[in-house]
Amino acid sequence: MMARDPLVAPAFLIRCASEPSSWSATHKITFVPQGSGTSQTWFVMLAIDTAADGLRAAVTHGEWLSQTTAAWTVDPAGTWRWRGRSTPRGEAGTVEVTELSGASKRLLGFE
């Protein structure tokens, strides 16, 4: 068996609870670099389906439209990663994740 490249997130079947063809942001991810640099923000939709390794994809609208692999994932313990790293490109800094209002209800199909 070939080892998976830790810098490349696995492909996921991405499914939205209420409408498979719709994208709706569930989380805001902000990376704040240590020292100088500009903060980066991504709005993502957390996938309902979980991969065999327990990871869930968090796709941007662009990734959703182009059906490309999600750069962001989250594991069962709630650790968010960018292409397998704790921060984008492994840069020093912090990642802040905010669940958007009503996201849990949307994920479960109640909204």
Question: In terms of Cα–Cα distance, which of 67, 81, 80, 74 is closest to 11?
Answer: 67
pLDDT value of position 104: 59
> Average pLDDT for consecutive 10-residue bins of the chain (111 residues)?
40 42 87 92 87 86 89 92 93 93 57 46
pLDDT value of position 13: 38
Q: Return the half-sphere exposure (C-beta side, CA atoms, 13 A cut-off) of residue 36.
A: 0
Nearest 5°: the CA angle 63, 68, 69 is: 100
Token digits of residue 70: 């999600």
Q: Return the half-sphere exposure (C-beta side, CA atoms, 13 A cut-off) of residue 21.
A: 0
pLDDT value of position 9: 39
pLDDT value of position 5: 42
What pTM did the predictor assign?
0.74
Q: CB count, 10 Å around CB of 39?
A: 11
pLDDT value of position 111: 46
